[in-house]
Structure 1
Protein backbone atom coordinates (compact mmCIF):
# COMPACT_ATOMS: atom_id res chain seq x y z
CA UNK A 1 0.00 0.00 0.00
CA UNK A 2 1.47 3.37 -0.96
CA UNK A 3 2.39 5.70 1.89
CA UNK A 4 -0.04 8.31 0.55
CA UNK A 5 -2.94 5.85 0.98
CA UNK A 6 -1.97 5.21 4.58
CA UNK A 7 -1.89 8.94 5.27
CA UNK A 8 -5.33 9.51 3.70
CA UNK A 9 -6.82 6.64 5.75
CA UNK A 10 -5.25 8.07 8.90
CA UNK A 11 -6.68 11.54 8.25
CA UNK A 12 -10.12 10.14 7.46
CA UNK A 13 -10.29 8.02 10.61
CA UNK A 14 -8.90 10.83 12.74
CA UNK A 15 -11.56 13.27 11.56
CA UNK A 16 -14.43 10.77 11.88
CA UNK A 17 -13.58 9.23 15.23
CA UNK A 18 -11.98 11.98 17.28
CA UNK A 19 -13.54 12.91 20.56
CA UNK A 20 -16.20 11.04 22.45
CA UNK A 21 -18.94 8.87 20.98
CA UNK A 22 -21.37 8.77 19.36
CA UNK A 23 -19.34 8.18 16.24
CA UNK A 24 -20.90 8.61 12.81
CA UNK A 25 -22.67 5.67 11.23
CA UNK A 26 -20.77 4.43 8.18
CA UNK A 27 -23.12 3.14 5.46
CA UNK A 28 -21.53 1.15 2.64
CA UNK A 29 -23.57 0.70 -0.55
CA UNK A 30 -22.35 -2.25 -2.62
CA UNK A 31 -23.57 -3.91 -5.78
CA UNK A 32 -26.68 -6.03 -5.51
CA UNK A 33 -26.46 -9.68 -4.51
CA UNK A 34 -23.16 -9.34 -2.68
CA UNK A 35 -22.58 -11.10 0.62
CA UNK A 36 -21.27 -9.73 3.91
CA UNK A 37 -18.05 -11.63 3.34
CA UNK A 38 -17.33 -9.84 0.04
CA UNK A 39 -14.02 -8.08 -0.46
CA UNK A 40 -15.74 -4.67 -0.26
CA UNK A 41 -17.37 -5.54 3.08
CA UNK A 42 -14.09 -6.80 4.53
CA UNK A 43 -12.16 -3.74 3.34
CA UNK A 44 -14.59 -1.23 4.87
CA UNK A 45 -15.00 -3.29 8.07
CA UNK A 46 -11.23 -3.37 8.51
CA UNK A 47 -11.00 0.39 7.95
CA UNK A 48 -13.96 1.61 10.03
CA UNK A 49 -14.95 -1.25 12.34
CA UNK A 50 -18.73 -1.30 12.69
CA UNK A 51 -20.44 -0.50 9.38
CA UNK A 52 -23.95 -0.66 7.99
CA UNK A 53 -23.44 -2.80 4.87
CA UNK A 54 -26.18 -2.53 2.23
CA UNK A 55 -25.74 -4.68 -0.92
CA UNK A 56 -28.61 -2.93 -2.72
CA UNK A 57 -26.81 -1.27 -5.62
CA UNK A 58 -26.55 2.44 -6.31
CA UNK A 59 -29.64 2.55 -8.51
CA UNK A 60 -31.87 1.20 -5.71
CA UNK A 61 -30.22 3.48 -3.19
CA UNK A 62 -30.78 6.54 -5.38
CA UNK A 63 -34.50 5.76 -5.73
CA UNK A 64 -35.06 6.08 -1.98
CA UNK A 65 -31.93 7.20 -0.10
CA UNK A 66 -33.85 8.18 3.05
CA UNK A 67 -34.86 4.56 3.62
CA UNK A 68 -31.42 3.84 5.10
CA UNK A 69 -31.77 6.62 7.65
CA UNK A 70 -35.10 5.55 9.15
Structure 2
Protein backbone atom coordinates (compact mmCIF):
# COMPACT_ATOMS: atom_id res chain seq x y z
CA UNK A 1 0.00 0.00 0.00
CA UNK A 2 1.35 3.40 -0.97
CA UNK A 3 1.72 6.25 1.48
CA UNK A 4 -0.71 8.32 -0.61
CA UNK A 5 -3.38 5.59 -0.51
CA UNK A 6 -2.88 5.29 3.23
CA UNK A 7 -3.29 9.06 3.75
CA UNK A 8 -6.35 9.08 1.48
CA UNK A 9 -7.90 6.28 3.53
CA UNK A 10 -7.24 8.19 6.73
CA UNK A 11 -8.92 11.27 5.23
CA UNK A 12 -11.99 9.27 4.14
CA UNK A 13 -12.24 7.63 7.57
CA UNK A 14 -11.86 11.00 9.31
CA UNK A 15 -14.62 12.67 7.28
CA UNK A 16 -16.86 9.59 7.56
CA UNK A 17 -16.53 9.31 11.34
CA UNK A 18 -16.87 13.08 11.88
CA UNK A 19 -20.23 12.85 10.14
CA UNK A 20 -21.24 9.80 12.17
CA UNK A 21 -21.45 7.53 9.12
CA UNK A 22 -20.55 3.86 9.43
CA UNK A 23 -18.80 1.91 6.70
CA UNK A 24 -22.08 0.07 6.09
CA UNK A 25 -24.05 3.30 5.67
CA UNK A 26 -21.39 4.80 3.41
CA UNK A 27 -21.47 1.66 1.28
CA UNK A 28 -25.23 1.94 0.82
CA UNK A 29 -25.16 5.69 0.14
CA UNK A 30 -22.28 5.45 -2.34
CA UNK A 31 -23.32 2.14 -3.92
CA UNK A 32 -19.82 0.79 -3.26
CA UNK A 33 -19.39 -2.67 -1.69
CA UNK A 34 -18.86 -2.49 2.10
CA UNK A 35 -15.71 -4.60 1.98
CA UNK A 36 -14.27 -2.22 -0.61
CA UNK A 37 -15.11 0.74 1.67
CA UNK A 38 -13.08 -1.01 4.38
CA UNK A 39 -10.16 -1.43 2.00
CA UNK A 40 -10.37 2.27 1.11
CA UNK A 41 -10.40 3.21 4.82
CA UNK A 42 -7.26 1.11 5.36
CA UNK A 43 -5.51 2.61 2.31
CA UNK A 44 -5.25 -0.75 0.57
CA UNK A 45 -6.60 0.34 -2.82
CA UNK A 46 -6.23 3.10 -5.39
CA UNK A 47 -9.71 4.23 -6.26
CA UNK A 48 -10.98 5.64 -9.55
CA UNK A 49 -12.16 9.21 -10.02
CA UNK A 50 -15.68 7.81 -10.42
CA UNK A 51 -15.49 6.32 -6.91
CA UNK A 52 -14.07 9.57 -5.51
CA UNK A 53 -17.15 11.43 -6.78
CA UNK A 54 -19.51 8.73 -5.45
CA UNK A 55 -17.87 8.97 -2.01
CA UNK A 56 -18.00 12.79 -2.04
CA UNK A 57 -21.70 12.75 -2.92
CA UNK A 58 -22.41 10.19 -0.20
CA UNK A 59 -20.44 12.22 2.36
CA UNK A 60 -22.04 15.48 1.14
CA UNK A 61 -18.76 17.22 0.46
CA UNK A 62 -16.61 18.21 -2.49
CA UNK A 63 -14.22 15.62 -3.95
CA UNK A 64 -11.23 17.83 -3.14
CA UNK A 65 -12.25 17.76 0.54
CA UNK A 66 -11.39 14.06 0.54
CA UNK A 67 -7.93 14.40 -0.96
CA UNK A 68 -4.94 14.47 1.38
CA UNK A 69 -2.57 17.43 1.28
CA UNK A 70 0.53 17.05 -0.88
CA UNK A 71 3.76 16.31 0.93
CA UNK A 72 6.74 18.12 -0.56
Q: TM-score, normalised on structure 2?
A: 0.35
Greater Cα radius of gyration, structure 1 or 2: 1
Task: Report 1 or 2 for greater relative contact order, CA contacts < 8 Å, sequence distance ≥ 6.
Answer: 2
Relative to its length, the structure with more strand (as a share) is 1
Relative to its length, the structure with more helix (as a share) is 2
